[in-house]
């Protein structure tokens, strides 16, 4: 029995992969990079949009644009950004590894109206609904 334990320990050590081999076989992590950008309105005469929210859909980061409409957000492509600001239609922007380090995003003015549909006597209209307006 005493000779069996050292033999088992030696066999387990030989069967385990070397740590360097494990690192070579692991999938490489996507590098995190800093994406910079400018958020503006589709109206060419409007100033850049300050306090627009820029968030990765994977939940890894969220920032607001500064007073000049600029932002910087760390991310690991590929990912998707959601850019939104009250009074504007939100946009989803796909960021690929080949996306430049600086981008410009335009938001169209728009609104979302949420309410209940009622019939003439003031009761529920039976359909309920959501009305979206925008460009």
Any idea where the domains of the chain sit in the sequence? 33-107
Summary mean pLDDT of the chain: 79
Helix ranges (H only) for 1-135 are 4-15, 19-25
Local structure of 22: helix, strand or coil: helix
Confidence of residue 8 (pLDDT cuts 50, 70, 90): very low
pLDDT of residue 16: 54
- pLDDT of 44 > 70? The answer is yes
How large is the average pLDDT for residues 39-63? 93
pLDDT of residue 120: 74
105 or 29: which leads in pLDDT: 105
Confidence of residue 109 (pLDDT cuts 50, 70, 90): very high
pLDDT of residue 110: 82
- pLDDT of 113 > 80? The answer is no
Cα–Cα distance for residue pair 75/27, rounded to 1 Å: 18
Of 2.60.40.1120, 3.40.50.10490, 3.40.190.10, 3.30.70.1560, the CATH number of 33-107 is 2.60.40.1120
């Amino acid at each position: 029995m005493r000779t069996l334990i050292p033999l088992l320990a030696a066999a387990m050590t030989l069967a385990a992969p070397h740590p360097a081999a494990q690192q070579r076989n692991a999938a490489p992590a996507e590098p995190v990079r800093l994406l910079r950008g400018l958020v503006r309105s589709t109206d060419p005469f409007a100033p850049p949009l300050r306090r627009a929210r820029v968030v990765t859909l994977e939940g890894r980061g969220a920032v607001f644009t500064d007073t000049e409409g600029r932002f910087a957000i760390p991310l690991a492509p590929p990912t998707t950004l959601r850019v939104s600001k009250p009074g504007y239609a939100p946009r989803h922007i796909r960021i690929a590894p080949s996306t430049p380090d600086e981008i410009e995003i335009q938001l169209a003015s728009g609104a979302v109206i949420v309410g209940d549909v009622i019939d003439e006597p003031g009761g529920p209209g039976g359909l309920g609904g959501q009305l979206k307006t925008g460009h």
